[in-house]
Structure 1
């Protein structure tokens, strides 16, 4: 019996930002989100440090010298919520820039509201 597939919800501009990524990057991130929907974890999905555990994950994909990242949460029972998708601009270090972490924190709070709206039927999944 196949596991029940979770819905995918998108916070703010995450979906629009992902659409602009190169096709191979979109495929990797899309597959990672799909695996999360069925309760699995992509080999490139790693817990994002500073978010207390493994419920906020980051997928990093390099393409032609550029680095792309997508962050999603699996903390909700029946939805995967994509919080942020961005191209890393800094060429120094591999750490996620502080301003991106701050944005992810804000969007995680928005995700809680979005999820509550979705659960009460006030919002449709994307």
Structure 2
């Protein structure tokens, strides 16, 4: 089973979400660790190749976890947030992109 690497404040953000959202995200992260896909996700090609966004709904609210799981050693959680508008904010996309760039730089020899 893969480990999980949380980038930036993503773990703190998840820990501060409502209990139902935390439980749903935890379940989906477990699926990723086991090599399965989350129940609801989409590719985030604008951030990077292999980056995906997990979609979770709880009590009428939408939550997102942007991650990279295309490596054998770990699921890399780049960013987590509550989605409050139809479109993902430029700030949330920029945070995920910056963390993916850092991850990519660290993984290269």
TM-score (norm 2): 0.85
1:101 aligns with 2:93: yes
- Gaps (5+ residues) in structure 2? none
Partners of 2:68 and 2:48 lie apart in 1 by 12
Q: How many residues are paired up?
A: 108
1:70 aligns with 2:65: yes
Partners of 1:33 and 1:115 lie apart in 2 by 21
Partners of 1:83 and 1:58 lie apart in 2 by 10
Structure 1 partner of 2:37: 41
Note the alpha carbon deviations across 1:31-81, whole angstroms, 9 max, x for none.
11111111110111222242455x212122222332211111113221101
TM-score (norm 1): 0.74
- Gaps (5+ residues) in structure 1? 117-126
Measured on the aligned residues, the alpha-carbon RMSD in Å equals: 2.0
Does the Cα contact within 8 Å between 1:32 and 1:45 map onto a contact in 2? Answer: no
Partners of 2:58 and 2:42 lie apart in 1 by 18
Of structures 1 and 2, the larger Rg is shown by 1
Structure 1 partner of 2:20: 24
3-state DSSP of counterpart to 1:75: coil
Partners of 1:82 and 1:109 lie apart in 2 by 13
